[in-house]
């Protein structure tokens, strides 16, 4: 997939008011993982109403979506400035048909380069049965409330 202008919001620990970013992200060959700011976010197999990706290193959950043409990416619940990668500003302004960036809504940042070698090692590591059990147990403990009826 081609690099794409994307909206990303951290949900773990924040609900709808976590840090948010807009930038141009890269995708894995399968399109299941996005890379931004030296992070790898993998698509959740069962997305929730709050998150559709998770950080493969930390387990933190994120909402990832396309950027809205009306510029209201955080309008319904979230608040706070959106960090926008300085390399994506022109593409963003073109996308929302604006001439300049509203600095009351945005903070200009520079995304870190992705260390794909580090990410590939993480994604391709084979967990032992004990490590797998510990990871599943930790994930279940962290997320069990989502599965209760």
What confidence score (pLDDT) does residue 120 get?
Answer: 83
- Tell whether 87 is covered by a domain: yes
Most confident of 49-58, 84-93, 121-130: 84-93
> Does some domain include residue 130?
no
Residue 68 in any domain: the answer is yes
**For range 19-30, the mean pLDDT:** 93
120 found inside a domain: no
Stretch 96-104: mean pLDDT: 94
Residue 72 predicted with pLDDT over 70 = yes
- pLDDT(35) > 90: yes
In this predicted structure, the answer to whether residue 149 has a pLDDT above a threshold of 50 is no
| Domain assignment of residue 104, yes or no | yes
Domain of residue 90 covers: 4-115
Residue 89, in any domain of the structure: yes
Question: What pLDDT shows up at residue 1?
Answer: 81
Answer whether residue 64 shows pLDDT above 50. Answer: yes
Most confidently modeled of 39-43, 69-73, 143-147?
39-43
Q: What is the pLDDT of residue 125?
A: 75
pTM of the model: 0.79
Tell me, letter by letter, the H, E, C secondary structure of the chain: CCCEEEEEEECCCCCCCCCEEEEEEEECCCCCEEEECCEEEEECCCCCCCCCEEECCCCCEEEEEECCCCCCCCCCCCCCCEEEEHHHHHHHHHHCCCCCCCCCCEEEECCCCCCHHHHHHHHHCCCCHHHHHHHHHHHHHHHHHHHCC
Q: Is there a domain that residue 122 lies in?
A: no
Higher pLDDT, 78 or 19: 19
Number of domains in the chain: 1
pLDDT of the residue at 146: 52
Q: Is 108 a member of any domain?
A: yes
* Residue predicted with more confidence, 22 or 139: 22
């Amino acid at each position: 997939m081609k690099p794409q202008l994307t909206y990303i919001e951290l949900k773990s620990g924040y609900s709808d008011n976590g840090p948010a970013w807009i930038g141009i992200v890269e995708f894995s060959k399968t399109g299941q993982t996005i890379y931004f700011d030296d992070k790898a976010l993998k698509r959740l197999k069962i997305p929730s109403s709050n998150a559709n990706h998770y950080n493969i290193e930390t387990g933190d959950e994120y909402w990832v979506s396309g950027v809205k043409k009306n510029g209201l990416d955080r309008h319904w619940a979230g608040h706070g400035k959106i960090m926008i990668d300085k390399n994506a500003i022109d593409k963003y302004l073109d996308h929302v048909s604006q001439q300049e960036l509203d600095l009351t809504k945005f903070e200009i940042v520079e995304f870190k380069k992705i260390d794909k070698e580090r990410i590939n090692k993480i994604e391709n590591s084979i967990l032992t049965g004990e490590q797998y059990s510990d990871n599943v147990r930790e994930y279940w403990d962290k997320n069990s409330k989502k599965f209760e009826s």
